[in-house]
Every structure is written in structure tokens, then in C-alpha cells.
Structure 1
């Protein structure tokens, strides 16, 4: 089936804007033209994609199943366009960096600053983005490289580990486990631990939280799934909180009556990483990627010395 990526992009814009009229304005085309293109796409597929109502638009069940494949296909089309432009124009444009909100650690800034010091003629542009959106944006070549904190990404990406994070539990000061420097893995049997639901971050859950359950811990899922919501729940119910990524500051934890305690016997489940697509990375990303490899190697040698 011969899809026009432009029509798929139009469809995704409607989904994003939740309105034909807003999407038409954003795309700078008339609303009748936009409607016609969606009708053409639906005719190609053989079923409707969108349901219009007074409240906006909704996805049909068929469209829900195709939404992520459409996003991936459009993203790869954008990536090809970016790669072709780089080939034509050379290496003059700035390096586009996407950074997740929780990747703001000193190591990230140190690496970027060291690269700029070593290559004064180069420029980087940095944009903050959510983790899920970062990986989609890397595949579409919106960003050349990304900084992320979490478990290793899937096989579409390669990554460099800048810093590992041990699995830590947030323990109320009133509980006996707060008196230990490290919590033995085997001591988790029967312990109630509040954490995020798997639906929120499947890969993070499988990497960092499933092993707690396998050790015999009893995982519970508070209704407020935000980092501070989990902490508030733990304080109210005197319950340990699992937070594989250190979302909450030490000051906030101290004020809430918690201490961090690493789990002994668990491999570090998450890391601060520099990430890029495995297939056909953008040309301008190569210089920074190779610099980062050397920078990380030197840093590891210094830490071992």
C-alpha cells in the first residue's frame, strides 16, 4: 500500500490538536483540503480513522491500533529528509540535543562544556522534552543526540552510560530498615513498597521494580503516581517508596521524614545516558558521540585510579 507520508502527518496533527480547524491552521492549508486528504487516506485503508463531534475528534478503534506505527513511519520519513539535508549542506548546522527533565546532572553539563571547549567552532542547541517523546524525536532526526535517565533503550538505539544509579528505596525514619546503610535484597521479603504502575513506564518497571517483587516485596500502587504523590503516600502510611530514578531532592526527602537506602545485591537499573539511533545516525552527531566515548573512558580511568 503506497502511503503519502504527508497525509499521515496531517492525520497526526489532527490527533495532536484534537481539531480539524486548529490542525488546518497549524498546517497552513484550508480545512476542506485537510478533510479531503484524510478522506483519501481513509479510502486507502478501507476504514475510517476519526470520529467528529461537537467536542472535537476521537480516534476509531482501528486508528488507535495504527497510531504508533503511523508515528514511527512519519518519524523515519523526517529522518531521511534530515539526513539528505545534512549530506547536501555539510556539517554547518548546530548539533540538536534533546534532554529529558530528570537528566540535569553535573555530568551532563560537564560533558557538553568539555565538548564545546575542545571544539570552539561547534554549537549545540538544547531542548527539554519528556522521555517517551525524546526517543520518537531521535528517530525522526528532530534531535541528533539525547540525554536521558532510565533503563537501557530498545534495540533501535545505541547508548553511552555516563553515570549509573543504584537501586534506592525511600524509607521512613520510623521504620527499622532506615537504620541500615544498605538493605539486603533478601530482606525485602514481605516488605510493603509503594511504587508506580507498570502501565506508566513498562521498561522501567520491568528493570527496577519487578526484581523487588521477585525478592518477595509486596508492591502497592497509590492513586497519586507523581513522585511527590508517592512520597506523601509513604509518609501518611509509613510505607517504603521505590523510586528508581531520583526524582525527589534530598532536602524534600529530609523534610518528609525519609532517608535513601540502596538495595544491596541489585544491579544498577537506571543510568544517565547519551543516546542516538543505531541506524544511520545524523552526520553532525558523530563528532560529539566520539568525543563522549573518549571523555567517558578517561573519566572511568580517573575514578579507578
Structure 2
């Protein structure tokens, strides 16, 4: 039994005229009459009393009419759900986010997206950058948000914005008296840095910025790297007098006793915050999220890797 015939039957029952029903359905009257007869053959009984003017639905037809309306309504709902799924308005998105970006505008954008698209289940997964890149490539994460831009080239990248970095020093430190700091001011200081595998882009950018003004970051006592630590631990050690640190400006929103944050002005250190996806990913909800985040964070003026 074709659902099209049920639709024709419902319209005919409402219009009570083959001519008017044919006009509503944009088909010829003979074609409509033929489809109704085939429906009657399908169910094995007469549905329309053609001897009456206007036509009447038979008792058997009335019972089928109730069920036909219900079936067509349910089919319409199913088609609506399918269209929402195709357009990404129903689905799931797993987003990997670098630890420092948990303090940025990205989680707020995720919250706004969830409010705007309540039928999309978005989950945040806090991971270090290398783990994000691996899991995005393997499609265990749908989207990654990190400081990496267009690397590795096997992923699709969408740049959101450039994030600047600041210096954190103990409030009793002599450098705390300065309104802004140059990298050369830190020449004799001990740098507290996360291990490279946790934040490779910031790690390499900091070393490169030091090299640009003629020195290599100094290591004493507490060590050049803070093994297994995060930004909060890093800032806490600065407050305890173990050294200084260069951190993302978003993290500097944390109020931690004993430290102050100062802009880094020479050179100004920035890194791009970008989203990445696997080129093989087929997830309309993830595409919708990336478009939404780009619009929210950079007004839709994002740059995209060539592979996109």
C-alpha cells in the first residue's frame, strides 16, 4: 500500500469532490479516481460512495480515514526528524579542548550552542594537544580546539583568533613593579614551563621568543619543566617563588593569591586558537558546531586550511 494513496484518500474525504481534490493535489481527476480504486483494491472494500453528491466516505472508509491521518502525521514527524539529523540539528558532538582553553571563551560558546541547539548533545573532553590531535585523526573526537594551526596537514583546520600571552610573577618579585615586561627582562629568571608534550606550541613559542632576544630560558632548583603539572600548579609555584611563567592570557583571569600578571610587550607573543576535524568525518552536527563557533568567536571571518 502506497502512502501516496492514503494522502489522496484523506484529501478526497475532506473535499468530498474528485474535481476539487484533484485541483488541491495538482493531478488530473482520472488519475485521482484511478489511485482511489487501487487503494480500495489494496484494502479489499469500497471506501467512497460515488452515488452520493457530494460523495460520502463509507463506514469502512471512515475507519481507514482515522488511521490514515495518524499514519501521515507520524510520517511527517519522521521526515522532520530525518531532516533535522541531515542538517545537524539532531546529533552528538564530542569536542576535545586543550586545558588552557577551558578558561577561554570556548566553553561559553559551547554552552550557547547547546542552548541554541538543544537536540545536539555536546560533550567537552579536556585533553593535552597531542592527545586531541590523535583522537581527532582517529575520529574518537569530532572536533578539537587547540593552539595548533594547520598542523598536522592531515586534519581540517579552522582558525578562530590569536591568543596573546602574559608573564606571571610573584607579587613580591622586583618585576611586579613594572606595568609590562619585555622578554629580555626575564633573561636571569628561572622559567617554570609545562612539559613539551602537554603544551608543545606554547613551549616552542616561549623558547623561540627567548632565542629572538639572545638567551635560552634559565633552569634552577625547581627545574626547567614542571612534570605532570597544569597551569594552576604552574602559577602556584610562581607565587611560592620558584620562578616566572609565560601563560595564555585567558588563564590570567584566575585570581590566585601571591601573583600578578603582566603583559608581554617585546616581543608580543601570540598563538592561534584553532579548531580541527578529520577530513573523513561525516557528522553534520559537528559541521554545525564549527560554523557556529567560528561565527561567535570571529564573526565568521575564520581562515580555513587548504585541505578544507
Aligned length: 207
CA deviation after TM superposition for structure 1 residue 110, in Å: 3.6
Which of 123, 126, 129 aligns to 1:129? It is: 126
Question: What TM-score, normalized by structure 2, do the two folds share?
Answer: 0.54
CA deviation after TM superposition for structure 1 residue 244, in Å: 4.3
Residue in structure 1 matched with residue 62 of structure 2 by the alignment: none
Question: What TM-score, normalized by structure 1, do the two folds share?
Answer: 0.55
- Report the CA distance shift for 1:200/1:210 in structure 2 as closer, same or farther (over 3 A): farther
- The unaligned stretches of length 5 or more in structure 2 are 1-84, 302-308
- Report the CA distance shift for 1:265/1:193 in structure 2 as closer, same or farther (over 3 A): same
**Alpha-carbon distance between aligned partners in 2 of 1:113 and 1:296, rounded to the nearest angstrom:** 13
CA deviation after TM superposition for structure 1 residue 106, in Å: 5.9
**Structure 1 residues 117-148: Cα deviation after superposition (integer angstroms, max 9, x where no partner):** 5545x412304231232222211112221233
CA deviation after TM superposition for structure 1 residue 173, in Å: 2.1
Q: Name the SS for the 1:178 alignment partner.
A: helix
Residue in structure 2 matched with residue 193 of structure 1 by the alignment: 191
- Report the CA distance shift for 1:290/1:185 in structure 2 as closer, same or farther (over 3 A): same
- 8 Å contact kept, 1:98–1:146: yes
- 8 Å contact kept, 1:101–1:128: no
- 1:111 matched to 2:109: yes
**Alpha-carbon distance between aligned partners in 2 of 1:232 and 1:283, rounded to the nearest angstrom:** 41
Residue in structure 1 matched with residue 31 of structure 2 by the alignment: none
Residue in structure 2 matched with residue 240 of structure 1 by the alignment: 244
Matches for 1:166-205 after TM superposition, within 5 Å: 166-198=164-196, 200-205=198-203
Cα-Cα RMSD: 3.5
- 8 Å contact kept, 1:194–1:219: no
- The unaligned stretches of length 5 or more in structure 1 are 1-88, 301-305
- Report the CA distance shift for 1:139/1:151 in structure 2 as closer, same or farther (over 3 A): closer
Matches for 1:139-178 after TM superposition, within 5 Å: 139-148=137-146, 150-152=147-149, 153-178=151-176
More helix by share: 1
- 8 Å contact kept, 1:98–1:145: yes
**Alpha-carbon distance between aligned partners in 1 of 2:247 and 2:114, rounded to the nearest angstrom:** 33
